[in-house]
Structure 1
């Protein structure tokens, strides 16, 4: 009889929180040295363009850090697949020393697997146990195609791949950037031994069993690291457990601050070297919102626009405007969007905004691409509401059945405050972020001299 203990260590949803990375790196490397048999995985959203180094290097700086801990495989999250332009995504893993496992994303126009990913990986332990591993990411059907990617349904992918992995492997592991509800569904429906999860930032301190499938997840921002223990006898999995270790319990080093500060400083310097315009005066956050309304109208060539003031965090100071100042003021992963509403829908939208504006003005929020402080006030250009409640579009009273185009941001499509926008026909420009749009606007308006 042969017995072995296998450890699966994992991180997820780091979102470029490098402040935790030195301790995580030491922890993982020490575990790798001490365990007889171990493998290390990341479950996506390792990058976040809120971080200057990530933004300046389009994620290449993150890969440099990840290489140091010798991941055996990773999968991607929406912050890789949807926040990076297509070409940058194709280059992200050029220098990675680990495999990227992704089974449910194809590349247009041929609908082939991306060159940087594998459908699955089978690892053979020292004693001959075969571990089949595959990765799935959240299939955003409305957005991935506009970036040149075709998502494939989760169940369709598992139905096709799992029988093969079951035949070829003793143990099957899923790296899932799908979220806890989907992981629970998969556990109920499929014979998968372990699902290591992410996306919804859930923490399963001791794992969760769902119909014989062990679910594991390590929170967000590197605040925990996961460790799954598999007990195997004659290549048969006989027991599985999961624990997580809080990062604050990991050892610190005198050099940690220098590493963390150095990564931020390097990113800042790279972005400061990218000059955008020469501002003749300070531009406050409120003025930036009106500039952005004009920029959105120009970009889509439509007469009306709307956005919220919370999109702008810092004043832009007189003098040289760089990509770093724009990141500081507009740190969001948010894109321009053109929506089409009928007059009746536009009236309903104004009602939705009016009922919620008082509490939205100071609502602290995160997520759906937003990296600011509060939602703020909704601003409009080209649309006005009179004291009698009548709405005018480009100076003319709207008609209930007439359609109207409004330039705005995709953030409002994903948050739950405006059902009219959630149901609206939209066109999202995922290849450009709000701050990149504003860089073009200010460059054209003020120039470099």
Structure 2
């Protein structure tokens, strides 16, 4: 009986940590040069607009680097699908030399497949084993439609696609940008051979077997690369194992630093060429928070706004203001949002913020689009609170039953601090980042200075 070995190499959640890329690239190319069968995948969030090259090229600079590694397939995470505007997402992979695989995000409510992705891929090894690969990304049902993408439910997609894959392939692999808890549920429920994971930044150094399904994942930021070894006999898996290699153990080269620095400089140069306006004076991070309140109120044409000071991490210096300075001060993947609350709910929100303010001021925050350091202080515009705790708007007491609109940022809906916001009706400007809004605001404010 013929025995065969297949290696599945994988990266995930690199988030534009290009300082690790030269070693990752060398490691993958060396592994691919071995005489056994290799397939290489990325499981999404390869890009992050925190990096100047990514922001300047809308991720296409990352794709150019990925082209050098000979990926057999990649899928997307929320840092591709939700952080890029629709047109930028549609053209992200226009020069890619690899396949984008995505099974549960559609281009129309009717289920039209995006032109830039295929729902699955079948590959045949030299020994004749058929490897079927499909991919699922986290289905953010609230926000994806705002960008013109339509997610499908995980179970619905698997149940529709898996019979086709099992009929056409000897081995079925899922590229999952869903997170470990969901991967575990999938492994327990479906006859999928391998689930390569991402999204929750989990590291499985030796994989994890759930009901016969091998789960694998390589952490985050390119700190590890995964290698799954499948041993087959007559095209059927007889053993499977997973391992990861830390990037710090990979070989370095003399020109690694210059390459990494060069990518950074290229991005910085491109962003600095995009002049927004001329600032007559320095604008401190603190002052930017007040400007943001004005910008949010004007953008949504509402009388109330709230924003936290931690959103602004650097001073904007006097002189030419470019996209680079805006990125440095507001590196987040966070969007303007307007929410509707009753007067009673606003009172409850203000009380909740006041009760937590001392803790939030110095609280380190990660995730939900935030790329700063501390949460900071929450500031309001349009509301006043007297010494009796009564809240006023434009000289009138808030009506507990009346509905009011508040301009703010979507970050506050995703963090676990404000239950009132989590339940509120909202509209998100999903194709506009905070720094882009502030660029528009400063451009208008200083147009005639």
TM range (shorter): over 0.9
**Contact 1:276 / 1:448 at 8 angstroms: preserved in 2?**
no
**Following superposition of structure 1 onto structure 2, how do residues 279-428 of structure 1 map, counting pairs within 5 Å?**
279-428=279-428
Name stretches of at least 5 consecutive residues in structure 1 with no aligned partner. none
- Give the drift of 1:108: 2.8
1:239-250 pair list within 5 angstroms:
239-250=239-250
Give the TM-score normalised by structure 1.
0.99
State how 1:44-443 maps to structure 2 within 5 Å.
Answer: 44-108=44-108, 111-443=111-443
CA distance in 1, matches of 2:141, 2:31: 39
Q: CA deviation at 1:395?
A: 2.6
2:109/2:150 contact within 8 Å kept:
no
Q: Deviations over 1:369-389 (max 9, x none)?
A: 000010000000001211110
Q: Give the distance between the partners of 2:241 and 2:44, measured in 1 at CA.
A: 22
1:91-121: CA deviations, max 9, x gaps? 0000001001100011136541100000000
Describe the SS at the equivalent of 2:314. coil
Following superposition, the deviation at residue 286 of structure 1 comes to: 0.8
Structure 2: distance between partners of 1:341 and 1:352 = 14
Aligned-CA RMSD value: 0.8
- TM value normalised by structure 2: 0.99
SS in 1 for 2:30: helix
What is the CA–CA distance in structure 1 between the aligned matches of 2:447 and 2:35, rounded to whole Å?
58
Tell me by how many angstroms 1:351 deviates. 1.3
Within 2, Cα distance between the matches of 1:404 and 1:351?
17
State yes or no: 1:30 paired with 2:30: yes
Q: CA deviation at 1:151?
A: 0.3
Q: Give the CA deviation at 1:448.
A: 7.5
Q: Is the 8 A contact 2:106 2:149 kept in 1?
A: yes
State the alpha-carbon separation in 2 of the partners of residues 299 and 12 from structure 1. 36
CA distance in 1 between partners of 2:46 and 2:84 (Å): 12
Please give the alpha-carbon distance, in whole angstroms, between the structure 2 residues aligned to 1:87 and 1:18.
Answer: 24
Counterparts of 1:91 and 1:109, CA distance in 2: 20
Paired residue secondary structure (1:340):
strand
Deviation readout 1:197-226 (Å, 9 max, x if unpaired):
000000000000000000000000000000
The runs of at least 4 consecutive aligned structure 1 residues that moved more than 6 Å come to none
Please give the alpha-carbon distance, in whole angstroms, between the structure 2 residues aligned to 1:16 and 1:393. Answer: 44
**Alpha carbons of structure 1 residues 109 and 236: separation in structure 2 relative to 1, 3 Å:** closer
Distance in structure 2 (CA, Å) of the matches to 1:44 and 1:28: 17
Mapped to 2, the partners of 1:209 and 1:125 lie a distance apart of 24
How many residue pairs were aligned? Answer: 449
Runs of at least 5 residues in structure 2 that lack an aligned partner in the other structure = none
Residue 28 of structure 1 aligns to a residue whose secondary structure is: helix
TM-superposed CA distance for 1:80, in Å, is 0.3
